[in-house]
């Protein structure tokens, strides 16, 4: 059984190649060979939580066998080997795609290195998308439907640390229903440009707002449109933009976004704000897929996980963009403005709150509290079976709710 080297850390998915000779792997063939530990045990899912360090049961990610001194291990050594060992990759989800991203297979040539993995997935996840130059920045924008769509234009805005890929199914079906749809990746996220902080973009709220205004002009969205918003941080910035530009919004649809001052802030964003620890956390290549799965009752399929991981795996820039945005935001101030701005005394346009009730970050009570503040304007629709990202979990139910509302 393989055990992990204590020199590895959970914030760095680098493989440890220090020599280690497990007792159970000794043989009489050589006294100089050593084992290379892949620093990862098998995992099992219990009530949505992972248990790491259990005995592997075969598969591609078995430990590379080693030879050593004569004889097998003693009974005490065998008993010790059965105990769960320290595993630095406790952050990895139960998704096989996540594990394959950082673990060494029994035959390395089967999976290849990170470069080969990037080559395998680099063209994934760009459905309906193209690059658009807006001002100083290059955005990745998905578009479905026709500019002549009879029912109007919808703009979909994602949250952190995800990307517009989550809307692909909803966009396709809404286009079939007669809408012209756009879904940009926010600057610093997904496939959009990752500006270096201090060089024209510092990931502050007002800068996101201005960049979004410029993008709307570039896309020639000059008439009022339907706005759909979901998620934390940049998702919240979508709502504060709407408060500042209510004349540009026909109707507003909100999917699982913090809406009240009582909305909890996930641990990821708290970790990112910690000195040094945040720098390690933001370079976790599986940060997005882990965040998505932790807020849902489902595990992402391999092809979807590949897309959410791709930006963070291909460069350190998306991680540092997330770090800057998380450290610049004042969550309480933003939530206070959202709560007050959409109350009955301030906002009169129709709002749909379509809420995945299995969200592990934001309970349904957040949406109910938000509706009470403006009951004549806010329509609340609970989406059973969906978690934090209902557009990913149950796109058909989201489409049904949107068509009925819009």
pLDDT digits (tens, 9 = 90+) for 125-136: 899 999 999 999
Q: Would 317 be classed as within a structural domain? A: no
Answer whether residue 16 shows pLDDT above 70: no
pLDDT, residue 11, reads: 42
- Is 342 domain-assigned? yes
Residue 167 maps to which CATH number?
Answer: 3.40.50.1820
Asked whether residue 61 is assigned to any structural domain, the reply reads no
3-class SS of residue 88: coil
Helix/strand number for the chain, H first, E second: 16, 12
Residue 147 placed within a domain: yes
The rounded Cα 148 to chain-centroid distance in angstroms is 33
Residue 72 lies in a domain: no
Whose tokens are 């557009």? That residue is 391
Average pLDDT over residues 151-177: 97
pLDDT band at 314 (very low <50, low <70, confident <90, very high): confident
- Which of the pair, 95 or 151, is modelled with greater confidence? 151
Q: What is the sign, positive or negative, of the torsion defined by CA atoms of 16, 22, 27, 31?
A: positive
Cα of 228 vs its chain's centroid, Å: 18
Of the candidate ranges 16-20, 186-190, 274-278, 395-399, the one whose mean pLDDT is the lowest: 16-20
Q: What is the pTM of this model?
A: 0.74
Q: What is the DSSP string of 114-126?
A: HHHHHHHHTTTT-
Q: Is 90 exceeded by the pLDDT of residue 242? A: yes
Query: Is residue 291 included in any domain, yes or no?
Result: no
Residue 296's pLDDT band, with cuts at 50, 70 and 90, is: very high
Query: 309 or 98: whose pLDDT is higher?
Result: 309
pLDDT of residue 113: 55
Number of domains comprising the chain: 1
Kindly give the interhelix angle for 234-244 and 331-341, rounded to the nearest 10 degrees.
40
Domain annotation covers residue 152: yes
- What is the rounded average pLDDT of the residues 262-287? 94
Phi-psi region of 15 (alpha: psi -120 to 50; beta: other; left: phi over 0): beta
In a domain, 50, yes or no: no
Domain that holds residue 171: 126-265+330-404
């Amino acid at each position: 059984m393989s055990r992990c080297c204590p020199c590895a850390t959970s914030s760095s998915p680098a493989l440890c190649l220090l020599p280690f000779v497990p007792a159970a792997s000794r043989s009489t063939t050589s006294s100089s060979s050593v084992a290379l530990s892949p620093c990862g045990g098998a995992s099992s899912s219990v009530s949505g939580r992972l248990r790491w360090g259990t005995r592997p049961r075969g598969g591609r990610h078995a430990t590379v066998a080693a030879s050593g001194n004569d004889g097998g291990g003693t009974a005490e050594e065998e008993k010790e080997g059965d105990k769960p060992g320290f595993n630095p990759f406790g952050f990895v989800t139960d998704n096989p795609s996540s594990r394959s991203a950082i673990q060494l297979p029994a035959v390395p040539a089967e999976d290849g290195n990170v470069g080969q993995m990037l080559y395998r997935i680099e063209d994934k996840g760009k459905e309906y998308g193209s690059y658009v130059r807006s001002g100083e920045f290059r955005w990745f924008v998905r578009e479905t439907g026709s500019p002549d769509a009879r029912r109007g234009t919808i703009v979909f805005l994602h949250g952190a640390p995800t990307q517009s890929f989550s809307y692909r199914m909803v966009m396709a079906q809404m286009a079939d229903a007669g809408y012209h749809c756009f879904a940009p990746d926010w600057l610093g996220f997904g496939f959009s440009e990752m500006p270096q902080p201090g060089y024209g973009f510092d990931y502050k709220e007002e800068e996101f707002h201005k960049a979004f205004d410029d993008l709307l002009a570039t896309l020639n969205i000059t008439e009022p449109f339907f706005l759909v918003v979901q998620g934390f941080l940049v998702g919240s910035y979508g709502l504060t933009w709407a408060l500042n530009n209510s004349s540009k919004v026909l109707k507003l649809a909100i999917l699982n976004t913090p809406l009240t001052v009582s909305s909890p802030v996930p641990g990821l964003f708290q970790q990112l704000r910690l000195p040094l620890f945040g720098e390690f956390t933001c370079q976790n290549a599986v940060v997005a897929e882990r965040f998505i799965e932790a807020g849902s009752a489902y595990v992402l399929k391999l092809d979807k996980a590949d897309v959410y991981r791709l930006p963070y795996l291909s460069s350190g820039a998306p991680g540092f963009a997330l770090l800057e945005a998380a450290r610049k935001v004042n969550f309480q101030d933003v939530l206070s403005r959202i709560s007050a701005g959409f109350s009955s005394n301030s906002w009169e346009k129709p709002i749909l709150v379509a809420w995945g009730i299995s969200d592990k970050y934001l309970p349904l009570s957040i949406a109910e509290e938000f509706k009470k503040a403006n009951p004549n304007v806010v329509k609340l629709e609970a989406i059973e079976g969906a978690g934090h990202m209902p557009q990913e979990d149950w796109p058909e139910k989201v489409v049904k709710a949107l068509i009925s509302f819009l």
